[in-house]
Every structure is written in C-alpha cells, then in structure tokens.
Amino acid sequence: MKYSEAEKQIKALSSKYDIYMVGGDLTVYYKNIIVAWVKNDERYLLYNDESCFKKMPFSNKLYMILAELAVTPIDEREEVKKYRVKAFEDYLNLNVNTSHAFLFDKTDTEYVKTNFTLKEIEQLKQRDDIPLDWNKVHLEETNED
C-alpha cells in the first residue's frame, strides 16, 4: 500500500481524522491528538494510543488500513516519480507492443508509453536504437501513475 492510498482511505472514514508525514512517519490525528503512526524505516511497526484509539469511530477499519501499510515493504510505500523525455519540441514515445521508440506528443495511452521512471530512463539510454543526446534532453516530471 502506498502512503497516498492509506491517507485517502483514512480520510474517507471520518473528516475528524488528519494525516501528516511527521519525521517521515505516517501519523494519524483524531481531533488534533496523535492516535497512531506507522514507522517509515521499519516494516511491521505500528503504534497506537489504545486509550484514545478504542473510542474513535471506525477504529477497527483504521487499524486494518494502518496494518496493511505497515506490512508493505518500505521501498513500495512511496509513489514512484515519472518523467517525460522531451527532445527538440516532441516527447519520447515507446510503442508498448513493439518497443519501437519515436518522437511525438506527450499523451500516454495503453498503446504508447511516454511516462518513465528514472530507472526506465537509464535503461532507455543504453539502447542503440534511440539516438538521443541524453545530455541535451529535458525531463519533465509528471503526476501520472
């Protein structure tokens, strides 16, 4: 589970819950009081204030959401940033079926991939069939998954 998914699910339980990243930990407040948090650097670690926790609405559901986050491997909790590779006035496109690379627009579809992780971009740089000067391309961060 991603931090963003946990936050969305918790906020859907009650408008009285607030979620903050405090020191990297996902921290849940109920009526401005810290009631639980999931450690960002240790898997399976979840804290809660039982005296407050048992009195809150949907506390069992909240616990289940936090438990799912806590069991998620640490490196899988953050959203992976994606980028578009802009060369000249167009964007690097990759046909998802053939892996054929070409320059065109920035629309990411089920057939054409234009959003890449940094790891994927490093792999693209190794391809001989993509004759780009990687020192001159521009990476644009995108919010798409």
Print pLDDT tens along the chain (145 aa).
999 999 999 999 999 999 999 888 999 999 888 999 999 999 999 999 888 888 898 999 999 999 999 999 999 998 888 999 999 999 999 999 999 999 999 999 999 999 999 999 999 999 999 999 999 999 999 976 4
- Enclosing H/E stretch for 49: none
Q: The pTM is what?
A: 0.65
CA 136 – CA 39 distance, rounded (Å) = 40
CA 26 – CA 69 distance, rounded (Å) = 9
Q: Which residues contact 76 (CB under 8 A, 6 or more apart)?
A: 2
